[in-house]
Chains A and B, each alone.
Chain A
Amino acid sequence: MLVVFGVTLFTFILTRILPGGAARAILGSRASPPEIAAFNQENGLDLSLPQQYVIYLNQLIHFNFGFSYRLNQSVIGLVHDRLPRTILLLGISTLLALMVAVPIGILQSVRRNKLEDYFFTSVSFVLYSMPPFWLGLLLIIAFAVNLNLLPPVGPQGNVDTYLSDPSQIAGLVLPVAALALTTIALFSRYMRSSMLDNLVQDYVRTARAKGVSNVGILYRHVLRNALIPIVTLLGLSLPGIFGGALITEAVFNYPGMGLLFWDGAQTRDYPVLLGVTVIVAVATVFGNLLADIGYAVVDPRVRIQA
């Protein structure tokens, strides 16, 4: 909760240090001093800073994230259409990434320092070190331009049709793949080291001494323990995944929060920029909170300490 408070304080400070002040940023550089004074009075900008902050907080609590003068729409209205699309993109790609990365991590830990391990390690290193926009564009070149299999743009229009209309699903494939690939690189590295940490634990030796088969040890004991840190990792990597979504949406023209934010950055639409930042930051905080709770659910040791 304190962190949410801190985030809002920070975005509040950002709105106040806008070049030329908030009024000039919104009314344009040709606004006359009387116009600016009127605007300031109308929006309470002539009050003291603590008073302004209280007003700002009050607006946020009532889901008033500001008004985009450029698009002539409230930020919450803009977000309302786009948030479900981003959640869809994030959800599918993160699930996919988990489903691929966990088996890869297991394979790597079992075949440590063998050919498979080196192969996946190098692949994930390259994916991780690649500018994310380039990865997306390479996918477009390969699958949309050269092979002509999939559309190079993400699905447009109403989010309800994304999973029912075949052409929309085809449009989802490349954005999801681009986002999932970078996440897979990260997750499989963690899965590998988490498995390796657990393989040397005493309980593995005990299980082996009791006569449990190798497969049994791997799946019944090691895997269950190795998955615990992944829960935390999910929470921790949320900011990174949001960032990835921003780039993916920009590359594939996928009309979600990231694209909205990017457009806002290019047109210097400060209400949109700061509104989306607050929303994303609060989402991150809650994501971390969920991860902590999830961690307590899967790991009884945490519950006892807490």
Chain B
Amino acid sequence: MSVRATAPGELTPASSALAAVEGGEVQIAGSAWRQASYVFLENRLAVAGLAYVVLMVLFCFVGPFIYRTNQINTDIANLTAVPSPAHLLGTDIVGKDVLGELMVGGQTSLEIGLTAALLATTFGVLWGAIAGFAGGWLDQVMMRIVDSLLAIPTLFLLLVLAAMFTPSLPMLIIIVALVAWLVPARLIRGETLSLRTREYVDAVRVMGGSNVRIVLRHIIPNTIGTIMVNATFQVADAILLIATLSYLGLGVPPPSTNWGDMLSDGVSYTYAGYWWLIFPAGIAIVTTVVAFNLIGDAMRDAFEVRLQKR
């Protein structure tokens, strides 16, 4: 699940194009952005993935206002009801409507995925940029820490942390982020190494810009392509990781639910034939993760000028 670490040299996407646009500061309306979004939008699969994610967000966050269900109380008269007009996807083992649960559970899954990815990316980017920019012994120490943690397989590290700290929703987000920030840190450090020798960095320094300013306003914005591609994959990975943690019994504690919980609860009734407890949640996870992966792939193509057909 974690072998997306492409060789550093391979991922120097927008940097050259963006740098050419201006003196090092990225303007959002710059032509590189327009070019990248053009390539992205040309990729029909990616647009489909993006549309699906938007749809999923609407489904989970707006859906409950339209399709009203009782997700608080149990309904003992209607346990594991077969899908019917009253309950479009049936009910679960305590009588809650599965479609409604899918919406509420999806909120948690998406929230964890997005927040963990945001947290991990922010931290990883800062770490990598500081290490790469500082160089010398600081870089050595910081990157050896990353290497050491990367040597521990993600799932093992995740389980140790989840066993040590009582899982709650914020705790889980932090735990996922703790194992996820390493890859962006490494990628950004690799890019920073080449970016810090650019002329515009010298120019900023001559103009009296501080190191903090160089890193925050010039180096990090120029790695935005790598950052966004990686962040997208992070969301997909985080959703899968949380689902796996739920199955392994170390997920979000009840009453809160997520797709992974629904799926792993459902599969314990495999033999009873309650397919509606298994497939809706499973398909929701797979399709959402596929969608994020498609978006990530297309963004990589869009930012990676080298691979584009000219």
Contacts and interface: CB of A to CB of B under 8 A. Distances in A.
> DSSP class of A's interface residues: helix, strand, loop or mixed?
helix
A120 B144 CA distance: 38
B154 A131 contact: no
Contacts of B155: 242-243, 246-247
A250 B248 contact: yes
A145 interface: yes
Interface string B134-159: 00000000001101111111111101
Interface string B1-21: 111010000000000000000
Interface string A133-149: 11001001100010000
B263 A134 contact: yes
Nearest to A285: B151
Given A10-B148, A239-B152, A281-B151, A129 B244 contact: no
Given A242-B155, A265-B160, A130 B286 contact: yes
Interface residues of A, number: 54
Contacts of A247: 155, 244, 247-248
A132 interface: yes
A7 to B, nearest CB: 5
Interface string A117-128: 000000001101
A3 B154 contact: no
B249 A266 contact: yes
Interface in A252-281: 261-262, 264-266, 268, 270, 273-274, 276-277, 280-281
Contact of B290 (A3, A126, A237, A266): A126
B252 interface: no
B267 interface: yes
Contacts of A277: 152, 156-157, 160
B271 interface: yes
Contacts of B221: none
Contacts of A236: 3, 5
Contact of B2 (A239, A246, A285, A288): A239
A273 B160 CA distance: 6
Nearest to A137: B267
A49 interface: no
Interface residues of B, number: 44
A282 B243 CA distance: 27
Contacts of B260: 131
B270 A14 contact: no
A129 B5 contact: no
Given A239-B151, A240-B1, A273 B159 contact: yes
A10 B294 CA distance: 35
A265 B290 contact: no
Interface string B109-150: 000000000000000000000000000000000001101111
Contacts of A6: 144-145, 147-149, 151
Nearest to B268: A137
B282 interface: yes
Interface string A1-17: 01111110110001001
A276 B152 CA distance: 10
- Residue of B1, B2, B285 contacting most chain A CB atoms (<10 Å): B1
Given A246-B156, A246-B159, 20 more contacts: A2-B147, A6-B148, A10-B148, A19-B165, A131-B247, A133-B248, A133-B264, A134-B243, A134-B282, A145-B270, A239-B153, A240-B1, A242-B153, A262-B159, A262-B248, A264-B163, A266-B163, A273-B163, A276-B156, A284-B153
Interface of A: 2-7, 9-10, 14, 17-19, 125-126, 128-134, 137, 140-141, 145, 186, 233, 236-240, 242-243, 246-247, 250, 261-262, 264-266, 268, 270, 273-274, 276-277, 280-282, 284-285, 288
Pairs of residues from A and B, 10 with the lowest C-beta to C-beta distance, nearest first: A6-B148, A243-B155, A239-B153, A129-B289, A242-B153, A131-B243, A133-B247, A265-B163, A265-B159, A281-B152
5 contacts: A3-B151, A6-B147, A9-B148, A246-B159, A280-B156
